[in-house]
C-alpha cells in the first residue's frame, strides 16, 4: 500500500477476543505505529469492517458492517463490541474470532461524538448494544475532565443481558461522585418503580423532573432502536431541551429500506465526485432507480459506505453543486444539512449536474 487514506481498508490483527456475554464478543485490535494517527478516534465513532461471503448464486460478494468503538481514546489499541444477530453474515462468524486473526477495517468515522468539557453534566441513554458508543463517551468524560459528571440510563431485558456490567461497576467505584448509572430492566422485577420497564417518554419525564431539570445537562446522547430515539427526542424537546443539545445514533432496523418509487431519477444527470484527491465522473439516466452511491458502483467508481440505509454516515460527503433528495437520513444533524452535507447512499439526483466531494 503506497498511500494512506481514511476511505481504504487496512488489515488489523486482533490482540484479544473476549466474550462479553453468550451473544457478544469484544475485539481489541492492534493498531500498527504507522497507522496510529489515521486510526485516532473520537468517543462515539465506529469502525467499518468488510468480509467476503458466498452469495446465493455461489459467487463471492463483499459485505460491510459497522461497529462502535467502546474503548476510551486514551487507550493504545481500540476495541469494538459485536453482538450476534441470528443469521448475521458478519456478527455470527465474529463470535469465533481469536487473538491473532486478521480483520479488514476502515479508519474510524461517524459524527455521533462527544468532546468533553469541564464543569458539565452529560446524559447518556442507551438500550442493549447501544451502550457501545456511550461507554466510550462516558470514559472520555471521566478521564479528560476533573469536575464533569455523566449520568447513564441503560435499558435491558434482564440483568444477565447487560453488556459491560462489570466495566460500568468498576467505573462507578473509581468515579463515585462523577458517574451515575441507572439500569432500566423490562423483564425482571426491580426495586425502583421508575426503572421498571423499557426506557420511554414517561421515564424521561419523571427523571427530568427529579434530576435533569435542576442540573441542566449540556448534552443528551441517545443510542438505540429508531422508535426509542424518536420517542425520547420528542419528549426532551417538549420538556424544553434545545434540539442542539440532543444527539443520537440509532440501530439499523426494519422499515429503513429504500423503495424503488423513492429512488426514481427524473432526468439525466452527470455526476462529478472527488475522493482522496482524485476526481471521477459518471452518469445517471432518467428512469433509473439508483442513488448516487449505487450509480457510482455501477460505473466502477469506489466510494466509502457501510450500511446503505442512512444510519452510519460512512458515505457522508459534501454537495458542492446541484440538487438531490435524501430518501432517508438517520444520522446527519441539521447543521450538516444546512452546510451542504449529504449521504450518497440516500441521495437521488434532482438536477442535470451534481458535484460532490468526500475530501471536505
Quick one: 126 and 152 in the same domain?
yes
| Segment 167-196 mean pLDDT | 94
| Segment 164-189 mean pLDDT | 96
Quick one: 87 and 20 in the same domain?
yes
Q: What is the pLDDT of residue 2?
A: 41
* Per-residue pLDDT tens digits for 67-108: 999 999 888 899 999 999 888 899 999 999 999 999 999 999
Confidence of residue 58 (pLDDT cuts 50, 70, 90): confident
Overall domain count for the chain: 3
Measured CA to CA, the distance from residue 315 to residue 297 in angstroms comes to: 13
Quick one: 163 and 244 in the same domain?
yes
Mean pLDDT for all residues in the chain:
91
Query: Looking at the domain assignment, is residue 2 inside a domain?
Result: no
Confidence of residue 254 (pLDDT cuts 50, 70, 90): very low
Confidence of residue 264 (pLDDT cuts 50, 70, 90): confident
Q: What is the CATH number of the domain that holds 347?
A: 3.10.20.30
Q: In what order do the strands lie in the sheet with 219-224?
A: 179-185, 149-156, 121-127, 219-224, 246-250
Quick one: 294 and 349 in the same domain?
yes
| DSSP of 17-76 | EEEEETTEEEEEEE--GGGTTTT---TT-EEEEEEEEE-TTS-EEEEEEEEEB-S-TTSS
Query: Looking at the domain assignment, is residue 115 inside a domain?
Result: no
Is the pLDDT at 223 greater than 90? The verdict is yes
Measured CA to CA, the distance from residue 83 to residue 26 in angstroms comes to: 9
| Segment 186-215 mean pLDDT | 91
Helix (H, G, I), strand (E, B) or coil at 343: strand
Smallest Cα–Cα separation from 316: which of 286, 285, 284, 339?
Answer: 339
Which of 228, 250, 272 terminates a domain? The answer is 250
Smallest Cα–Cα separation from 123: which of 238, 230, 212, 249?
Answer: 212
Confidence of residue 152 (pLDDT cuts 50, 70, 90): very high
Is the pLDDT at 185 greater than 60? The verdict is yes
* Per-residue pLDDT tens digits for 40-51: 999 999 999 999
Confidence of residue 259 (pLDDT cuts 50, 70, 90): low
Q: What is the CATH number of the domain that holds 141?
A: 3.40.50.80
Is the pLDDT at 18 greater than 60? The verdict is yes
Which of 62, 85, 108 terminates a domain? The answer is 108
Measured CA to CA, the distance from residue 282 to residue 272 in angstroms comes to: 7
| Segment 2-23 mean pLDDT | 88
| Segment 161-166 mean pLDDT | 96
Query: Looking at the domain assignment, is residue 297 inside a domain?
Result: yes
Q: What is the pLDDT of residue 251?
A: 66
Helix (H, G, I), strand (E, B) or coil at 106: strand
Quick one: 237 and 275 in the same domain?
no
Confidence of residue 249 (pLDDT cuts 50, 70, 90): confident
Is the pLDDT at 253 greater than 60? The verdict is no
| Segment 143-159 mean pLDDT | 96
Which of 222, 250, 278 terminates a domain? The answer is 250
Quick one: 72 and 171 in the same domain?
no
Q: What is the pLDDT of residue 3?
A: 56
* Per-residue pLDDT tens digits for 289-331: 899 999 999 999 999 998 888 888 899 999 999 999 999 888 8
Quick one: 237 and 127 in the same domain?
yes
* Per-residue pLDDT tens digits for 225-239: 888 999 999 999 999
| Segment 180-199 mean pLDDT | 92
The domain containing residue 126 runs over which residues? 121-250
Confidence of residue 214 (pLDDT cuts 50, 70, 90): confident
Amino acid at each position: 500500500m503506497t498511500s494512506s487514506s481514511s476511505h481504504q481498508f487496512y488489515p488489523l490483527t486482533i490482540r484479544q477476543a473476549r466474550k462479553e456475554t453468550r451473544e457478544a464478543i469484544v475485539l481489541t485490535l492492534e493498531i500498527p505505529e504507522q497507522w496510529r494517527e489515521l486510526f485516532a478516534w473520537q468517543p462515539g465513532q465506529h469502525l467499518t469492517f468488510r468480509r467476503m461471503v458466498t452469495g446465493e448464486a455461489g459467487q463471492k460478494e463483499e459485505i460491510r458492517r459497522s461497529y462502535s468503538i467502546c474503548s476510551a481514546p486514551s487507550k493504545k489499541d481500540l476495541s469494538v463490541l459485536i453482538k450476534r444477530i441470528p443469521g448475521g453474515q458478519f456478527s455470527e462468524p465474529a463470535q469465533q474470532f481469536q487473538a491473532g486473526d486478521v480483520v479488514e477495517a476502515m479508519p474510524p468515522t461517524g459524527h455521533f461524538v462527544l468532546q468533553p468539557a469541564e464543569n458539565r453534566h452529560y446524559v447518556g441513554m442507551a438500550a442493549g448494544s447501544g451502550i457501545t458508543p456511550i461507554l466510550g463517551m462516558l470514559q472520555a468524560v471521566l478521564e479528560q475532565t476533573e469536575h464533569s459528571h455523566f449520568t447513564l440510563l441503560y435499558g435491558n431485558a434482564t440483568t444477565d443481558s447487560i453488556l459491560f456490567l462489570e466495566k460500568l461497576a468498576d467505573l462507578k467505584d473509581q468515579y463515585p461522585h462523577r458517574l451515575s448509572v441507572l439500569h432500566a430492566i423490562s423483564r425482571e422485577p426491580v426495586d425502583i418503580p421508575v426503572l421498571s420497564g423499557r426506557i420511554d417518554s414517561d421515564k424521561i419525564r419523571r427523571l427530568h423532573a427529579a434530576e435533569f431539570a435542576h442540573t441542566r445537562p449540556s448534552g443528551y446522547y441517545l443510542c438505540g432502536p429508531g422508535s426509542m430515539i424518536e420517542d425520547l427526542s420528542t419528549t426532551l424537546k417538549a420538556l424544553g431541551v434545545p434540539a442542539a443539545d440532543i444527539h443520537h445514533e440509532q440501530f439499523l432496523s426494519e422499515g429503513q429500506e429504500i423503495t424503488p418509487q423513492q429512488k426514481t431519477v427524473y432526468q439525466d444527470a452527470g455526476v462529478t465526485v472527488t475522493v482522496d484527491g482524485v476526481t471521477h465522473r459518471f452518469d445517471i439516466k432518467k428512469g433509473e432507480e439508483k442513488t448516487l452511491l449505487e450509480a457510482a458502483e455501477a460505473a466502477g467508481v469506489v466510494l466509502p459506505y457501510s450500511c446503505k440505509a442512512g444510519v452510519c454516515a460512512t458515505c457522508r460527503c459534501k454537495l458542492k453543486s446541484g440538487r438531490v433528495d435524501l430518501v432517508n437520513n438517520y444520522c446527519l444533524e441539521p447543521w450538516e444539512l444546512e452546510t451542504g452535507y449529504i449521504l450518497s447512499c440516500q441521495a437521488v439526483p434532482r438536477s442535470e449536474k451534481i458535484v460532490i466531494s468526500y475530501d471536505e
